[in-house]
Chain A
Amino acid sequence: MAKMDFKALIDNYSAAVLNTAVRILRDAERAQDVHQEVFLEIWRRRHKYNGQTNWGAYLYRVTVRKAIELAKRPRMAALTEQHQDYAGTNERPDGPLRAAELQQRIVESLAGLPERQADVFVLSRIEGLKAEKIAQILGCSQETVRVHLHRALKRLGRELAEYLGKD
């Protein structure tokens, strides 16, 4: 990495990558998997970066993508157990259990959204970033961000109606 100090990159962005991954996946082990994949990919291609990369934006994009990809795979054991408990009682879970289930469903639904919608939703609602910053990360206009967010919210609202409560 002639024009980039890989160790400095890790030191500067490790926590940010892990935070984003753990918010999406809510699982420390899987968040570490994302961290590993994201930085390992950069390391493997380290000779190809030209020193112009906006690492903050780039890492947001790839971390969100990888975390959503990982979320498609079989979910974490702990939550599965919760689901099994819930299935056994034949009742809807309440409180923290319900919140955890809902969060899991949101992430699963995100995997089914068009990539840009999912990215905007995560960066806006889960990362809490402003439209201007999201537009900068994704390289699009703020209006595009707004449109994607609206579509994502509308669709998730419909798809998750069962978990969000009926009218």
Chain B
Amino acid sequence: MNTHEQINEMLVDYVLGELSHQQLSEVETHVAECRQCSGEVKRLEALLECTEQMRELSADEQMCESAKKALFETIVTEQQKEPTPRPKVGRAIMWRIIMKSKITKLAAAAVIIIAVLISISHFGGPLAVTSVAFGDVLKNIQDAKTLAWRMTVTTKGQEPQTMRIMVIEPYYMRCELSNGTVWILDHSQGKTLVLDPGRKLAVISSTAQATLDTYHTFRNFQNMEGVSVEQIGQQQVNGKLATGFYLKRGDEDGEITVWADPESKLPIRIETVLKDAEGNVSKGVTEDIVFDCKLDESLFSIKPPSEYKQQEIEGPVERHRALSNRSQSLTHMSQILKASLDYTEEHGGQWPDTLNDLAGYGIDTEILINPSQSERENGYVYLKPHGRLSPSQIVLYEACDEWNVGINVGFADGHVEFIRKESDFKKLLLK
């Protein structure tokens, strides 16, 4: 004969109709006499009846269509928000880039200067209104697909730097510095190559998406608000008579002077005056500007010459990806630890034997993969805790063959930390 407690434990099976004939008879006899158990049976039956009513609800066709429509609309909006390889750059930022560029960015700055000229012409606006002649200069260059020019930058106290720059829109740029160094950017692959002929060294890296704008602005950059243009007459430039235009934006530092050939109506010389944050003035002269010139595409190859020693360095794209993967891995580990704690709650404090035991706790195979090392089936090392447990005890960490910048480590209290030093990790592990 079962006790009251034993019968009480059978009440759920009773209301679910899962008792054997003998158990059923025993429970019914007890319930008829026990007020506490009969009350519980009534409550459980009311609970089951109520959930059965909930089961009857369903979504109609209109609701389904409406939900699908809303979903697809959101997806379209998200797609539009997704970063494109060529984001637009604000006008004020463009002017700052032109005027504040450090020497390593001067090549890009020179491209932007030309982009400004082209787009002003293309879209009209205050400059075109101010000077029809200047508009004529620009009209001739707005459809250029290739560009080449030479730029010399002179900064007080430093040797003049001269660079030859070639561009094939919209992806490729090659910059040859006076010391022989060659810098090639391939925005279609998001890669840069720097060739150092002195050391026969080829350094490959990624390039940030922000610099991809350089060429896109040729077409999308509209008139520059607040920029004044003034015709400053004619003078001899490189043995030719040229008409000058002076551009300035409000009270901001820096100015641009464009000298154009009155016959071809093409710019033949662009002078920039730049001032850096410390007030040092650099003067840049852009000459030998050739539009739609023939450029050999092999000049833009990011495949290093065979005789060069290759070195790959982490660029901004790789750094961003690594941080993103690290953050996602941390989320995976937090989920695994939370599921483990749920498991222990339901197993009298026992931790799972393996992470595969967490399948019933929302941990699927995808979560067991570390995004930083997606080739590994199980990206995490699990240390099943035994006996007395300390909250600072390591129970999970990222599997790695070689220590790099650090790893995410999960502790018995469910928190995850990024540990940078291997020695710190080993100390914690020994605990």
Contacts and interface: CB of A to CB of B under 8 A. Distances in A.
Contact of A40 (B44, B52, B71, B346): B71
Contact of A61 (B78, B362, B365): B362
Interface string B40-63: 101110111011111101110001
Interface string B14-49: 010000000000000000000110111011101110
Nearest to B35: A167
Interface residues of A, number: 54
Contacts of A126: 51, 54-55
B70 interface: yes
A11 B39 CA distance: 46
Interface in A30-64: 31-32, 35-36, 39-40, 43-44, 48-50, 52, 58, 61
Contact of A36 (B12, B40, B70): B70
A153 B47 contact: yes
A115 B338 CA distance: 11
Q: With a 10 A CB-CB cut-off, give which of A40, A44, A115, A153 has the most chain B CB atoms.
A: A153
Given A31-B63, A32-B63, A144-B360, A23 B55 contact: yes
A10 to B, nearest CB: 6
B75 interface: yes
B10 to A, nearest CB: 10
Interface string B319-359: 00000000000000000000000100110000000000001
A111 interface: no
Nearest to A105: B50
Interface residues of B, number: 43
A157 B360 contact: no
B71 to A, nearest CB: 5
A70 interface: no
B280 interface: no
A165 to B, nearest CB: 6
Nearest to A25: B57
B299 interface: no
B51 A35 contact: no
Contact of B43 (A58, A106, A127, A160): A160
A15 interface: yes
Interface string A90-115: 00000000010011001000000011
Contacts of B35: 167
A154 interface: yes
Contacts of B40: 157, 167
15 contacts: A31-B63, A36-B67, A36-B74, A43-B75, A49-B366, A65-B362, A106-B47, A106-B50, A106-B51, A114-B346, A116-B360, A126-B51, A140-B359, A165-B43, A167-B38
Interface of B: 12-13, 15, 35-36, 38-40, 42-44, 46-48, 50-55, 57-59, 63-64, 66-68, 70-71, 74-75, 78, 342, 345-346, 359-362, 364-366
The list of the 5 closest CB pairs from A to B, nearest first, reads A167-B39, A140-B360, A139-B359, A18-B59, A164-B43
